[in-house]
Structure 1
Amino acid sequence: MKQLLDFIPLFAFFATFKTLGIFPATGVLIASSILVYGGLWLKDKHLENGQKLTLVATILFGGITLLLHDDTYLKWKAPVINWIFALAFLASLYIGKEPLIQRMMGKAFEMPASIWRKLNWAWIFFFIVAGASNAYVAFYFEKYWVDFKVFGSLAMTFIFIVAQFIVLSRYVKTDDMVNK
């Protein structure tokens, strides 16, 4: 349920963009992000690193977009966030004991280290492609940018995650494994 809250600013942005345009939508994106993540922080006294990055990037790129009245900056938000995630997953292969994906999903899956590393590489590749596709659409197909940002990116992510879980389903920890 908490992950669904992350989509509130995106859908508020989309609805506002379709009715009022990019600059009011950017203001709504910033405000709704502050409300959602502020509410989560007040409730849990903590935000996940991805949520912190998203909030800071939204305020920074959205703020510059509004200040300079230039949507170019907002168009760079999604690619930059995706590429930062790719760098974090890449760095985790060399820093720490486990790849980042294993730290995130290790409680649910029991896999050999080589599979964790391959999965981590898959996420690196995914974030690079997601960032590149967002940038490509934003700057070469501007008319469809917001639609792609909302529906195309979500569809890519959903398909990637579903495919990943199909492949990984044989590694799901059972109750016997968890209770050891």
Structure 2
Amino acid sequence: MKFLFDLFPVILFFVTFKWGESHVPQAQDLASHYLSGLISGGIATPDQAPILLATAIAMLASVLQIGYLLARRKKVDAMLWISFIIISVFGSLTIYFHSETFIKWKPTVLYWCYGAALFMGQYIFRKNLIRTAMESQIKMPDLIWSRLGIVWIGYCIIMGFANIFVAFNFSTDTWVNFKLISIVAIMPAFVVAQSLFLSKYMEETA
């Protein structure tokens, strides 16, 4: 359930963009009506409307996410705050300059922020953030925790570059598909592979 909750803005972004592509006149009307005051020049062209509308919906979804957790007096994870700040900044730039370039950079910046946090935690502050998050459920040797941290840093770096490659070498539609697939397929596959790797060491240290 938490996984779906975290995916809420991404799913709405995907659905809104796909709908906008299939209903361009309606998407342009909505974007022009609700976003004209936020767009430089005040006009959303037909080719820009789907991505602008999807970006605005994703930003609203992120606000609702944070608001819901705060209203329920639940802790807002640091990763969720980081994602909220980045979507707010890059989404606002996308809408104001009516340019998809900014929102296409957002996943890369997010991945690299996570990677930088993991790197600094492990090598500067001597605190393995992956270990901090998982150690209550898993007991492993220090060396394995260190290697796991390196793997996650590498994953964040690679996915950041992969996003740039797809975003600026393929169509926006392909990028939107990749954006969703990277979260609902690639990341779960990575986590499963990680679990298989860790199970060996958990058995050895049992």
Q: Structure 1 length normalisation: TM-score?
A: 0.90
Instruction: Note the residue ranges of structure 1 that are not aligned, 5 or more in a row.
Output: none
Decide whether the 8 Å contact of 1:134 with 1:153 is kept in 2: no
- Separation of aligned partners in 1, 2:178 and 2:144: 31
1:77-113 CA distance string (max 9 Å, x none): 0000001111111111124443111011111111111
1:147 and 2:177 aligned: yes
Distance 1:50 1:128 in 2: 16
In the other structure, the counterpart of 1:14 is 14
SS at match of 1:145: helix
92-101 or 13-22: bigger deviation: 92-101
CA apart distance, 1:172: 4.9
Aligned length, in residue pairs: 174
- Alignment check: 8 A CA contact 1:53 1:81 kept: yes
Larger Rg: 2
SS of equivalent residue, structure 2 residue 127:
coil
Which amino acid letter does the alignment assign opposite residue 92 of structure 2? G
Which position in structure 2 is the counterpart of 1:74? 103
Partner of 1:137: 166
Using structure 2 for the length normalisation, give the TM-score.
0.80
Q: Aligned-residue CA RMSD in angstroms?
A: 1.6
Runs of 5+ in structure 2 lacking a partner? 21-49
- What do the CA deviations read for 1:87-141 (whole angstroms, capped 9, x no partner)? 1111111244431110111111111110000000000000001111011101111
Equivalent-residue separation in structure 1 for 2:199 and 2:114 (angstroms)? 24
* Secondary structure of the structure 2 residue equivalent to 1:34: helix
Q: Tell me the amino acid that sits aligned with residue 107 of structure 1.
A: S
Residues 42-53 of structure 1: matches in 2 within 5 Å? 42-53=71-82
**Identical aligned pairs, as a percentage?**
34
Three-state SS of the structure 1 residue aligned to 2:72 is helix
1:35 aligns with 2:43: no
Shift of 1:4: 1.9
